[in-house]
Amino acid sequence: MTATTPETEAPVASMKNIGPQSVKWLAAIGVHTRRDLHEVGAVNAFRMMRKLGYNVTPVMLYALQGALMDLHWNRIPGKLRDELRARARADE
């Protein structure tokens, strides 16, 4: 998503899986729009929130990825969940 469109500029609050608390945590790391989340990526956003001390769980990681895929977090395939968790733990 490089072009600016109404979809890329949509606030993260309008994305699937993103509730009020997630919006606050995402804002704290500078993620306000769909494009912001796309550019940062689910894993990096998760790591950044964790680094700030937020109590993020793997469900948040799945929710962020699901938001990017327009898919409910519990519909993320198991193999992708495993990959996301492994990437989130890398370099710890």
- Give the number of domains in the chain: 1
- Position 2 scores a pLDDT of 52
Taking the C-alpha atoms of residue 35 and residue 5, their distance in angstroms, rounded to an integer, is 9
pTM value? 0.90
Please determine, for residue 92, whether its predicted confidence score (pLDDT) is greater than 50: yes
Taking the C-alpha atoms of residue 83 and residue 9, their distance in angstroms, rounded to an integer, is 28
Q: What is the pLDDT of residues 15-74, one digit of tens each?
A: 999 999 999 999 999 999 999 999 999 999 999 999 999 999 999 999 999 999 999 999
In a domain, 25, yes or no: yes
> Which two three-digit tokens encode residue 7?
């979809």
The domain in which residue 41 lies consists of 12-89
For 91, left (φ over 0), alpha (ψ -120 to 50), or beta? left
In a domain, 2, yes or no: no
Q: How many residues does the chain have?
A: 92
CATH of the domain at 83: 1.10.150.20
In a domain, 71, yes or no: yes
